Amino acid sequence: MTLQTHEIILLIFGVFMVALSMLADAYGRKGWAEFFIGCAVGIVLVIFCAPDDARADDWTQQDTYRETVYIALDAIDWRQTQDIVRHPNLYETNPVLGLHPTNARINAWFAASMATQIAIAYVLPEKWRAAWQYAGIGLEAVMVGNNKHLGLNVKF
């Protein structure tokens, strides 16, 4: 099997996730260590276990539009989640972050999850990519709407 350029980039990203896992484990952050290992395993599975028709196609303008919408919604969710810190009566529902996460934990989570979503979108074939992107957009739209309903703000 010959690896394509995007697969090599993902493999390097997977190695980076393993390194982050080791660092998190060294600092006693067991949950983060498991998260980063999970990302690395997912990347390896995408690269080596996907059938040939699951290989990336050329990136289209429509892919860029969908990814831009996802990133915008994720950035809003990110800022709303940071606002939870200022509301002791509210709590985070993401089990990776914990009930009352710090801004550092929030920033690490959103940076890693955004990068992972974009990387997966990049390697998917066109027929699967749009579904993946729309699923991410839908999830983020629900999160942003729920956060707004709770009174969380977005300030950049």
Residues 6+ apart with CB under 8 A from 132: 120, 121, 124
Q: What is the pTM of this model?
A: 0.67
45 and 61 fall within a common domain: no
62 and 114 fall within a common domain: yes
83 and 40 fall within a common domain: no
- 144 or 27, higher pLDDT: 144
pLDDT in tens, 104-113: 888 888 888 8
CA separation (Å) from 120 to 4, 31, 69, 99, 145?
Answer: 15, 22, 16, 28, 25
Find out whether 132 and 124 touch, Cβ atoms under 8 Å. yes
Query: Nearest to residue 81, comparing CAs of 94, 68, 67, 70?
Result: 94
Domain span including residue 134:
57-156
For the segment 118-126, the average pLDDT, to the nearest whole number, is 82
- Quote the pLDDT of residue 148: 92
19 and 82 fall within a common domain: no
pLDDT in tens, 49-90: 655 555 567 788 899 899 999 999 999 999 999 998 888 899
38 and 102 fall within a common domain: no
pLDDT in tens, 91-108: 888 877 888 888 888 888
- Quote the pLDDT of residue 143: 92
Distance, C-alpha 92 to centroid of its chain: 17
Q: Number of C-alpha atoms within 13 angstroms, CB side, residue 75? A: 8
45 and 74 fall within a common domain: no
